[in-house]
Amino acid sequence: MPSHTRLILFAVLILAAGLTFWQTPLVSSQGLTVTAAYVEGALPVDDPASPLWEGGAAVEIPLSAQIIVRPISPEARVKSMTARSLYNGDSLAFLLEWEDASDNSQTVRVQDFRDGAAMQFPLLEGQPFFCMGQEGGNVNIWHWKADWQADMLAMGDMETAYPNMHIDYYFGAEESDDPRTAEYTDVAYVTARAVDNLFAAPLRTSAVEDLIAGGFGGLTSQGMGGQNVQGYGVWQDGRWRVIFSRALSSGEAEDASFALDKVYSVAFAAWDGANSERNGTKSTSQWVTLQFGKAEMAASAAEQPAAAAKAKPQRLILGQTPGWWMIVTLVTLLVFVVIGALIFYRLPE
């Protein structure tokens, strides 16, 4: 082998050893990161047009059709959405925006399907399957539903869709002009409410359903007592703008909780009711990184040591690595050099 060829091989080997030592990848892909911006005071949880949202950097999230399990539709219409996030000392909020030619929030007829959007957070370390998690890797899902939004705003009802309908007597219901808001004294006639089914709730308190999933077929609502996510959506000029909000911490064991010094994963989904999208027929994203921007206020002297103790480096870097790791890395580099020298001197001309 010619000397210059051996020199090239030796140089490549030394370069590889150096890249390994300094943990420098040859190829790097920049993942998407949603950074929650800090704001003083209350979050704009019911105002998608608030100028406060401009403080959060807009990140365009690509979406694609869910084609893993039925029902599927390769022609899912929502191809991307824009995500922003804000937080204060107590709560976290997201603003999602996407193009949708029609407002599908009136779904009192069985042939109508609603628009919707969802956010998903892993409940364990790491990233489970981005489509509703997996067995042993549960996810917390926040599902905003356009028809629930319409219910809260009294934008449509059965009487509007079917003006000639007749309401029969509701057993066990107290007198009320609107049977949807009646107080039922005998749950034997309202079995769905008896089993904590949110669809049977007489009044909507949020347009978002808080759910848990551990893989396909494992979607479970947290019930009426476990709903702590708020949502508010506005459709205007062919575009949905939907806000999700919740406290940073939660007392629910199966809720995602957020610490400001940590990095999280989040995935997104959207449904276009005009395209008959529902259940698994939807557009989904891959996992996206969620992090918190620095608050414009200093921690108190008592809080600073605790915050420093909790903070964990996201990556081992030169100068901050523990002693044992430095020793192992130096030994590895030395082995590469020795092997390279042997190759250089022992290969035939």
- What residues pair up with 122 in beta bridges, in sequence order? 139
What's the mean pLDDT in 221-227?
84
- Based on the domain organization, do 300 and 334 belong to the same domain? no
Give the whole-number percent of the chain exceeding pLDDT 70: 67
Q: CA 333 to CA 348: how far, in whole Å?
A: 25
In terms of average pLDDT, the best of 17-31, 192-206, 209-223, 236-250 is: 236-250
Is the confidence at residue 76, as pLDDT, over 50?
yes
Is the confidence at residue 225, as pLDDT, over 70?
yes
- Based on the domain organization, do 247 and 333 belong to the same domain? no
pLDDT of residue 42: 96
Give the whole-number percent of the chain exceeding pLDDT 90: 45
In terms of average pLDDT, the best of 33-47, 70-84, 144-158, 215-229 is: 33-47
Q: At what angle do helices 323-346 and 3-21 cross, to 10 degrees?
A: 170
In terms of average pLDDT, the best of 5-14, 149-158, 179-188, 302-311 is: 149-158
Range list of H helices, the chain: 3-21, 146-152, 158-161, 191-194, 303-310, 323-346
- pLDDT, one tens digit per residue, over 319-338 is 333 444 456 556 766 776 67
Domain that holds residue 337: 3-23+315-346
Higher pLDDT among residues 314 and 216, named by residue = 216
What's the mean pLDDT in 3-25?
54
28 domain-assigned: no
In terms of average pLDDT, the best of 8-12, 75-79, 177-181, 329-333 is: 75-79
Closest-CA residue to 61 (of 276, 278, 274, 265) = 265
Q: Total domain count for the chain?
A: 2
- Based on the domain organization, do 108 and 245 belong to the same domain? yes
Is the confidence at residue 233, as pLDDT, over 80?
yes
The C-alpha angle with vertex 305 and arms to 303 and 306, in degrees rounded to 5, equals: 65
Read off the DSSP letter of residue 284: E
What's the mean pLDDT in 52-61?
96
pLDDT-derived band at 153 (thresholds 50, 70, 90) equals confident
Higher pLDDT among residues 164 and 251, named by residue = 251
Higher pLDDT among residues 98 and 319, named by residue = 98
pLDDT of residue 170: 56
- Based on the domain organization, do 159 and 278 belong to the same domain? yes
- Based on the domain organization, do 197 and 122 belong to the same domain? yes
- Based on the domain organization, do 227 and 186 belong to the same domain? yes
140 domain-assigned: yes
What's the mean pLDDT in 27-38?
76
